[in-house]
Amino acid sequence: MNYGDYPDFVVEDIVRLRRRLDLVSVPPRRTDHNFILGTWNIRSLGGYFDDWGENPDSPKRNLRGLALIAEVIRRFDVVAIQEVKRDTSALRLLAEDFLGPDWGVMMSDVTAGDKGNTERAAYLYDTRRVKPSGLAGEIVLPPTDMGDPQEQFDRTPYLVGFVAGGERFALLTAHIRYGEDLSDRIPELRRLAKYTAEEIRDRSRFAHAEEANLIVLGDFNTDRDEDNDLFEVFLEKGLWVPEELRDLKTTYGQEAKHYDQIGWFRDDMTLMPTGRAGVVDFAGAVFQELTAFQMTFRVSDHFPLWCEFSTDRSTEALAGVLGVDANMPDPFSGVPD
């Protein structure tokens, strides 16, 4: 898509959205320097209306909504997307037309059964900066030690490996069961935390492991309640969420929730987070003629989370040649001017 083809009101939305993106300091993407990781539950990403909003009474997503979604995604290098539906036409149009030929898409199959809500998980990535490593799979829990089958996830988590700037990493995205009773969410959260820590993490510790630098991200429905802190369940097996993301709410409105997370096992991580991370709150910037609730059907009822990682290993390499500690405040203080 070409911005010159967009109606004026869509361009005005994009201008306001870019101001929000700048306000939360999403860093520029710099070759051989960094990559930007995102996660976003995009509400019921399935079909769409092939118009720019000529029918303002329609509650469905249209080209205007997809243009705004693309404007956010192109600030990232790879983004995990939850709540992709059986109908992938909107996802395909987003990747092929709005983002363009340099973007790739990978997706899981729809999880069988009514509990899966005809959902699949997906990744969008800029092929100029990120490449799939070849690893891909859906998480199916093995039988218990007694040989009994385990209850599976309502929506199967999806694991894919990538390479960016010479750095290998594996992304595991999930959309944990939602229940009005918060305790309904605990079993799936606990199963995911346990499997991630005891199975995938264990494999990641072997030399040349495909699962090295495992990052768990997605919509975990980790609502916080004084009697039931689901966030602590998410962390109980050793996952760690950076401080920059811990208190960020990722839904709109006065009762906004801490549903979405990005986390990893710190002791097993060789990737270098830069400390820059955040959420993109676009409420009020787009579809200003609608209520915030109406807007969620055009864009989403969740805001995307992002985190920056460094791919610049030059300081370590120089320090290695000189035999100094790259972690010192000024490792090259002994080098004369």
- Nearest Cα neighbor of 258 from 145, 176, 152, 160 is 176
Please check whether residue 111 is in contact with residue 82, taking contact to mean a CB–CB distance below 8 angstroms: no
pLDDT, residue 90, reads: 97
Q: What is the pTM of this model?
A: 0.93
Q: What is the mean pLDDT of each run of 10 residues along the chain (337 residues)?
A: 90 97 94 94 94 73 96 98 97 97 97 88 98 95 79 94 95 93 90 93 86 96 79 94 95 92 95 96 95 94 98 84 83 84
Q: Note the pLDDT of residue 142.
A: 84
pLDDT of residue 197: 94
Nearest to 45 by CA among 77, 11, 1, 92: 92
Using alpha carbons only, what angle is made at residue 255 by residues 285 and 229, rounded to the nearest 5 degrees?
130
212 within 8 A of 169, measured Cβ to Cβ: yes
Diameter of the chain measured on Cα atoms = 70
- Nearest Cα neighbor of 151 from 182, 93, 192, 104 is 192
Domain 3-308 = CATH 3.40.109.10: no
Q: Where are the domains of the chain?
A: 3-308
The answer to whether the CB of 234 falls within 8 A of the CB of 194 is no
- Taking the CB of residue 215, how many other CB atoms lie within 10 A of it? 23
